[in-house]
Amino acid sequence: MNYQFNWSVLWSGQTGAWLLQGLLVTLEISILGWLLAVMLGLFSGALRTVPIAPMRWLAAAYVEFFRNVPLLVWMFFWYFGISPLLPQVLRDWLLEHGAEFSAGVCALGFYHGARFSEVIRAGIRSIPKTQFEAALSTGLTIAQAYRLIILPIALRLILPPVTNETLNLLKNSSVALTIGVAELTFQTRQIETYTAKAFEALAAGTVVYLALCLAIAAAMARIERRVAIPGMISRGRTGGG
């Protein structure tokens, strides 16, 4: 084998700064996308279980619309498709303040929000119906019953699949490179182009993604053990998807 390894390319010159910048952008876009996804997932997942048919249909339409189209298409849609529909002032402001980053956050948030919605719906369905009936019998409204009783229990039950979706969202943030977001994969490709050391650059990106995913999985497993409901949740067993 004639290939000459040179691991110093990862920290010499600008390459180290590129890796660090890519890591920070990956964390930023993943955290913002995750927050948006959780909010949309909580809202639509709860609506899919309420006894009001039009609300269930609306939430189901959101889930089926965003879940069944590839994430890459949504990246392009939010970046290339939405921009021409915006007022010129807002379009100019986005172009000056990272339109590609905002598009990436929206694509990740809406796509994974639909997937979180299914997880949350399943968690709510796993709660005995008598819990909901008992809440209503105390005088709580439907909204209060969900906010105070149903959702807090469901969130404790769904931690393992939520961990999987969180890891998937982090990994899927790499798709944002297709619209010019300078996240970790984008930066490793830039290092490979600049140094002609593809193995070293991509190996560094692989190790960073692996470390991030293992750290998230370990943190979520710890949280799962602390909030586990005896007899209703398997303790401390999570995995990536």
Mean pLDDT within 54-80: 93
Quote the percentage of the chain above a pLDDT of 90: 54
Q: Considering the domain boundaries, does residue 91 fall inside one? A: yes
Question: In 105-140, which positions are buried (b, 16+ CB within 10 angstroms) versus exposed (e)?
Answer: bbbbbbbbbbbbbbbbbbbbeebeeeebeebeeeeb
Q: Considering the domain boundaries, does residue 14 fall inside one? A: no
d(CA 183, CA 210): 15
222 by DSSP, 3-state: which?
helix
Dihedral pair phi/psi, residue 12, rounded to 5°: -90, 150
The pLDDT tens digits for 135-165 are 888 888 888 888 888 888 888 888 889 999 9
Q: Considering the domain boundaries, does residue 13 fall inside one? A: no
162 by DSSP, 3-state: which?
helix
Q: Considering the domain boundaries, does residue 2 fall inside one? A: no
Q: Considering the domain boundaries, does residue 86 fall inside one? A: yes
Q: 0.75 exceeded by the pTM?
A: yes
Q: Considering the domain boundaries, does residue 7 fall inside one? A: no
d(CA 59, CA 56): 5
pLDDT of 71: 95
Domain containing residue 80:
19-227
d(CA 61, CA 38): 17
Q: Considering the domain boundaries, does residue 80 fall inside one? A: yes
Answer yes or no: is pLDDT of 234 > 50. no
Question: Could you tell me which residues come within 8 angstroms of residue 238 by beta carbon, excluding any fewer than 6 positions away?
Answer: 159, 160, 163, 164, 217, 220, 221, 224
Q: For the chain, how many structural domains are there in total?
A: 1
Q: Considering the domain boundaries, does residue 165 fall inside one? A: yes
Where residue 64 sits, what CATH number does that domain have? 1.10.3720.10
Q: How confident is the model at residue 230 (pLDDT cuts 50, 70, 90)?
A: low
